[in-house]
Chains A and B, each alone.
Chain A
Amino acid sequence: EMLLVESGGGLVKPGGSLRLSCITSGFTFSSYSMSWVRQAPGKGLEWVSSISSSGGQIYYADSMQGRITISRDNAKNVLSLHMNSLRAEDTAVYYCARDVGETMVHGVFDYWGQGTRVTVSS
């Protein structure tokens, strides 16, 4: 069974940091690109970041560029998102998603985790 399980969310003050993790199983993690997509309360979906299978291609949304770092550990099947300088507008559920692309990021997200909630508030 394909599983993607996010963790690391929580309540953080403006300007604070969080590290989100996505532990995966049920597929060959090292063969797939991975992405983070977020959803603010009551709002639509917003792509955040993607990383290719080897980590050689990394892309960020402008809204978070410079404040986030995506990484992966192919030995542990874990995707991470380190977020700094968090703002109220970063409040959202953050989903990790598998990309059908292998060596290159493709932009088709075929499996998703259940999400981890990040709340930025004083």
Chain B
Amino acid sequence: DIQMTQSPSSLSASVGDRVTITCQASQDITNFLNWYQQKPGKAPKLLVYDASNLETGVPSRFSGSGSGTDFTFTITSLQPEDIATYYCQQFDYLPYTFGQGTKLEI
């Protein structure tokens, strides 16, 4: 199975900060990577697919980049409503695997 390693596991930031989360795959997954946001008690929400494509309706302060084994998710100006846990997920190979999550706090 492909292992997805996110860093950091938790992050404390202030409103307006630029926030960056990294995700490393245990082998080359080209750009077959998604990012999800999960707020407490809620279902995950797709934010970015194919490593860098923003899902429709997602604010432009969110972005993703990377290819191969190293990927980055960025929030350019953190808002209070961005408090959540963020997960990367590879879909190049079955079984689909998720990172362990990054809990973002303000």
Contact = CB atoms under 8 A, between A and B. Distances in A.
Given A45-B87, A45-B89, A62-B95, A110 B46 contact: yes
B49 interface: yes
A107 B87 contact: no
29 contacts: A37-B44, A44-B87, A44-B98, A45-B38, A45-B44, A45-B87, A45-B101, A47-B95, A47-B98, A50-B96, A59-B94, A59-B95, A61-B95, A95-B43, A95-B44, A100-B49, A106-B91, A107-B32, A107-B89, A107-B91, A108-B34, A109-B34, A109-B36, A109-B44, A110-B49, A112-B43, A112-B44, A112-B45, A114-B43
A47 B44 contact: no
A45 B90 CA distance: 12
B26 to A, nearest CB: 16
A50 B97 CA distance: 13
A73 interface: no
Contacts of B32: 107
A46 interface: yes
Majority DSSP secondary structure for residues of B touching A: loop
B96 A107 contact: yes
B32 to A, nearest CB: 7
Given A37-B44, A44-B98, 8 more contacts: A45-B36, A45-B38, A45-B44, A45-B87, A107-B91, A110-B49, A114-B43, A115-B43
